[in-house]
């Protein structure tokens, strides 16, 4: 049984078909790369699977059809994601941001928790402990009380991952986690992604840094104009002429 499966997934924006009849499967414990030129439909794929954009075709999680579910219901199915652009509560502490992620799992009211009603107080203590564990895991334990807005961009991305992990996902979808990072930051992000998989969470990784993709992915799916043009191991993708053409074509368009 596949953890995630799409069958003929299609997403249209007016005249643009951003995802075009895309069928793919991702297994348990896999790190799957999702690559392709700018505008290929990678982020749209995440938006469709995470319940943010309407789509046709079918999305299945562990063979259950989840098409049409709302974003919070998708999280409850074990799928979490991060965003290409950081989406933290900027004026909150790092800890509070991760605790907000815990609420997606526990189902307690986020606002009730902020106001500290008795019903939520025990739950709050549990969430705080859990949030601190997750921050330690992603290497941000020392920054728990820092205001999110004060962190450099790369660390805000890592907080975004901590928030997603707080829902205890079976699958984590990462949208360009290494964008704008230097070599050392990129290396520690790659390590983190491996450690997350080591804890039993599957990953779908959108990333333009090919060294990262080739270094950590088990399998890679390549999109161009919303269509799958190749799929295989890093070695197979490196040798694939259709992939080379897609990237060269987009480079020529950009110049």
Ligand X SMILES: Nc1ncnc2c1ncn2[C@@H]1O[C@H](COP(=O)(O)OP(=O)(O)OP(=O)(O)O)[C@@H](O)[C@H]1O
Q: Which is nearer to Mg ion, 84 or 147 (CB)?
A: 84
Contact partner at residue 41 from ligand X, Mg ion, none, CB < 5 to 8 Å by partner kind: ligand X
Q: In what order do the strands lie in the sheet with 56-61?
A: 16-26, 4-13, 56-61, 64-65
- Contact string (CB under 6 A) for ligand X, positions 41-60, x = contact: xxxx----------------
Cite the DSSP H helix spans in the chain: 42-49, 71-76, 94-106, 110-115, 118-137, 153-165, 183-198, 210-216, 234-239, 241-254
Tell which one of 27, 29, 39, 112 touches ligand X (CB under 6 A): 39
Q: Which is nearer to Mg ion, 82 or 202 (CB)?
A: 82
For position 43 contacting Mg ion by CB under 5 A, the verdict is: yes
Cα first-last separation, the chain: 44
Q: How far apart are CA 208 and CA 33, in angstroms?
A: 10
Least Å from the CB of residue 204 to ligand X = 13
Choices 38-46, 157-165, 187-195, 230-238; region in contact with ligand X by CB under 6 A:
38-46
Q: How far apart are CA 172 and CA 26, in angstroms?
A: 12
**Residue of minimal CB distance from Mg ion?**
43
SS3 55: coil
Residues that bind Mg ion in the complex, under the rule CB under 5 A: 42-43, 84
Chain residues in the site for ligand X (CB under 6 A): 13, 16, 18, 36, 38-44, 84
């Amino acid at each position: 049984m596949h953890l995630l499966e799409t069958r003929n997934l299609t997403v249209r924006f007016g005249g643009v078909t951003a995802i075009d009849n895309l069928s793919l499967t991702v297994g348990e414990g896999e790190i799957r790369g999702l690559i392709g030129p700018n505008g290929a439909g990678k982020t749209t794929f995440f938006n469709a699977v995470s319940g943010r954009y309407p789509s046709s075709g079918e999305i299945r999680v562990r063979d259950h059809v989840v098409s049409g579910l709302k974003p919070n219901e998708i999280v409850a199915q074990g799928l979490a994601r991060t965003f290409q652009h950081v989406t933290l509560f900027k004026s909150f502490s790092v800890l509070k941001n991760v605790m907000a992620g815990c609420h997606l799992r526990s189902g307690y009211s986020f606002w009730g928790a902020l106001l500290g009603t008795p019903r939520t107080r025990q739950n709050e203590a549990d969430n705080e402990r859990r949030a601190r564990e997750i921050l330690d895991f992603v290497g941000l334990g020392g920054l728990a009380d820092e205001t999110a807005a004060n962190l450099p961009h790369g660390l805000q991305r890592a907080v975004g991952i901590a928030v997603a992990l707080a829902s205890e996902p079976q699958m984590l979808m990462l949208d360009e986690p290494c964008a704008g990072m230097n070599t050392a930051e990129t290396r520690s992000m790659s390590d983190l992604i491996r450690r997350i998989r080591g804890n039993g969470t599957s990953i779908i990784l959108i990333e333009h840094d090919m060294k990262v993709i080739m270094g950590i992915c088990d399998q890679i799916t390549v999109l161009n104009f919303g269509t799958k043009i190749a799929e295989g191991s890093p070695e197979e993708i490196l040798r694939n002429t259709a992939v080379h053409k897609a990237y060269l074509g987009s480079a020529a368009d950009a110049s």
